[in-house]
Amino acid sequence: MKKLLLFTFLFSFGLSAQEYVDLFRMGYGQTFNNNFEGTDSSTYVKFFDAGFTFPLVINENHALITGADFSRNNLQLFPEAEYTSLYSTNLKLGLASTWSEKWSTTVVLLPKIASDYKNISGDDFFFGGFALLKLKRNENLKYRFGVYASQEAFGLFTTPILGWYYLSPNKRFEMDMSLPISADVSYKLGITTVGMDYFGIGRSYNVHYENSSTLYADLSSLEFAGYLQFNALEESVLLRAKLGYSSNNYEMYAEEEKMDLGISAFSFGDDRTQLNPSLNGGFFLKFEAIYRFHLESDSKARKEDSK
């Protein structure tokens, strides 16, 4: 029954042109070395992330989107300092709607708690979300237009989203673009897939020091990677190894230091004083596991069962 409801939701709403949805994702990785500018000190960043998405059908045209994401980054924020763990936990609550054969929308709220999780208070709570308008051009191509916005420790951050999803007729070549946030281009070779992806992220974390005022880390990271993927269990379980480069800059500021507005790569009214040396980027290695729900295979299975 759960599979049937999930299939009904995914088939009716066409969240994208692809014939699948990733319900669960988990990843673990580490940079090799990140140098502090102007010093002889360096650090490395260990990172772990996990997330799931679960839809709840309302009717044939609307459904709730629920889920959660968790991430942990561990590094030295200052030269020769102890390693600090920065956590982010956000809930996902949204609505997906289909308005016609070509047009659909998705609106998702993303409340989160982001800090070192020491002395958690209301100051560690931030609110964000995104909205997407999708146009189905044909069976293989869909366009996306939208906006993402988030309250952060440094102020309000927002960015437009422009993208598309394309799957070749032979179902081997795939492009999944949501710029400037993410991009994924891949080619399937039987049970393996080779690809390249990009992920641009901007986050902030409150950091509490004993007998000292609260600071916050302003993370701006651009990740570029190539990957090799093994497609297991009829491509329902994907095991991915990634090697790439990430900018990984964690700038530290006093909690009262704000900027007026951040829009994509631009900032306005930013006269903050950075308290730590900038952190240079570095190469990283990451392993990911994904559980993927296939619409087409499930539809065929149900047809076979009904014969």
Mean pLDDT of 183-191: 95
For residues 92 and 9, the model is more confident at 92
Neighbours of 31 (CB within 10 A): 22
For the chain, report the end-to-end CA distance as a whole number of angstroms: 18
Local confidence band at 20 (pLDDT 50, 70, 90 cut-offs): confident
What's the token pair of residue 106? 């998705």
Report the pLDDT averaged over residues 163-175: 94
pLDDT for the residue numbered 260? 81
Among all chains, which residue has been given the structure tokens 């149900």?
A: 302
Helices and strands counted in the chain (H then E): 2, 21
Q: What is the pLDDT of residue 227?
A: 98
Q: What percent of the chain has pLDDT over 70?
A: 89
297: enclosing H helix or E strand = helix 295-306
pLDDT greater than 70 at residue 9: no
**Angstrom distance (rounded) from CA 202 to CA 180:** 11
pLDDT for 277-296, tens place per residue? 999 999 999 999 999 887 65
CB 215, CB 254: distance < 8 Å: yes
- pLDDT at 173 exceeding the cut of 90: yes
- Mind listing the pLDDT tens digit for each residue in 194-205? 999 999 878 999
Q: Does the pLDDT at position 214 exceed 70?
A: yes
Dist. CA 4–CA 305, nearest whole Å: 13
Instruction: State residue 295's pLDDT score.
Output: 64
Q: Is the pLDDT of residue 52 over 90?
A: yes
Tokens of 109: 């709220």
The CB density around residue 242, as the number of other CB atoms within 10 Å, is: 20
Beta-ladder partners of 94: 65, 108
> Across the chain, what does the average pLDDT equal?
87
Give CA–CA dist 81/4, Å, rounded: 53
Token pair 């993410």 is at which residue? 182
| Domains, the chain | 2-306 (2.40.160)
Whole-angstrom distance, CA of residue 134 vs CA of residue 259: 32
With DSSP H G I counted as helix, E B as strand and the rest as coil, what are the percentages for the chain, rounded to 5? Answer: 10, 65, 30
How far, in whole angstroms, is CA 167 from its chain's centroid?
21
Closest among 246, 220, 235, 124 to 186, alpha carbons compared:
235
pLDDT band at 265 (very low <50, low <70, confident <90, very high): low
Q: Amino acid letter at 194?
A: V
Would you mind telling me the total number of residues written for the chain in this entry? 307
Which pair of tokens denotes residue 302?
């149900």
For the full predicted model, state whether its pTM sits above 0.75: yes
